[in-house]
Amino acid sequence: MRACSEDNNPVEPKVITKIEVRYDTIETIKQTYVPKYITKIETVIDTFTTPIDTINILKDYYAKYYYSDTLQIDTVGYAIINDTITQNTILARDIRTNILIPITTITKEIYLNNRELYWGLGLQGRTDQINYLGGELLYKNKKYQVYGLGIGVNQDFKPVISGRMYWKIKN
């Protein structure tokens, strides 16, 4: 009877793919960076036409200015750059990052069409009498074909053997 089926190839296993996206935070080593200048351009001024407040210029020269700048890095995070400037130079630079890198994990679970065995009870008859009562076994193979075998008794308590065959109907 197997040759009567549409194809003799086993049914392909059912594959379920699960995709999980997890975001990992990248931690950077905190280090203080002091940049060095490459070129120095000096301007020579001989005279001033406006009065100059030397005390305010010196206060401004020796004062420390703190600058903070946030740089957005696409959609994965941002970087914060903190600079300390005094005496016309960058005294210190601190860079802090918060970058989330997506990590995709793909898991494939393969469910094979296993052979299965079922047990149950069978009952056949009309409204006025029972023709068959007994236990039955059903066996399903990998091609979704089901075979049944039953052993029981009829209304006269004589042994009865039954056989069944089932095929899966396509969706």
Per-residue pLDDT band for 28 (boundaries 50, 70, 90) equals: low
Encode pLDDT of 112-171 as tens digits. 667 889 999 988 888 888 888 999 999 988 777 899 999 999 888 899 998 989 887 776
Of the two residues 91 and 25, the one the predictor is more confident about is: 91
Residue 124 to residue 136: CA distance in whole angstroms: 12
- Do residues 84 and 64 make contact, with C-beta atoms less than 8 angstroms apart? yes
Higher pLDDT, residue 110 or 31: 110
Instruction: Give the max Cα distance, the chain.
Output: 133
The predicted pLDDT at position 139 comes to: 93
Model confidence over 37-83: pLDDT tens digits?
Answer: 677 778 887 787 888 888 988 999 999 999 999 988 888 888 888 88
Dihedral sign for Cα atoms in the order 4, 8, 12, 13: positive
Determine the pLDDT at residue 135.
94
pLDDT tops 50 at residue 13: yes
- Of 170, 166, 169, nearest in space to 118 by CA: 166
